[in-house]
Amino acid sequence: EVQLVESGGGLVQPGGSLRLSCAASGFSFSDHYMDWVRQAPGKGPEWVGRSRDKANSYSTEYAASVKGRFTISRDESKNSLDLQMSSLKTEDTAVYYCTRSQTSYHFMDVWGKGTTVTVS
Amino acid sequence: DIQMTQSPSSLSASVGDRVTITCRTSQDIKSNLAWFQQKPGKAPKSLIYAASRLQSGVPSKFSGSGSGTDFTLTISSLQPEDFATYYCQHYNSYPLTFGGGTKVEIK
- pLDDT (tens, 9 = 90+) of chain A, 120 residues, equals 999 999 999 999 999 999 999 999 999 999 999 999 999 999 999 999 999 999 999 999 999 999 999 999 999 999 999 999 999 999 999 999 999 999 888 899 999 999 999 999
Stretch B54-80: mean pLDDT, rounded? 97
Residue A91 and residue A14: Cα distance in Å, rounded?
10
- Least Cα separation, residue A78 to chain B (angstroms): 24
Q: In the prediction, which pLDDT does B107 show?
A: 87
Per-residue pLDDT of A15-33, as tens digits, reads 999 999 999 999 999 999 9
Contact B46 A109 (CB under 8 A): yes
Q: In the prediction, which pLDDT does B12 show?
A: 96
Per-residue pLDDT of B22-59, as tens digits, reads 999 999 999 999 999 999 999 999 999 999 999 999 99
Q: How far from B65 is each of B27, B54, B60, CA to CA, in Å?
A: 17, 11, 13
- Least Cα separation, residue B105 to chain A (angstroms): 16
Q: In the prediction, which pLDDT does A9 show?
A: 98
The rounded mean pLDDT for chain B is: 97
**B101 close to B86: Cβ distance less than 8 angstroms:** yes
**B97 close to B3: Cβ distance less than 8 angstroms:** yes
CB pairs under 8 A between A and B: 58
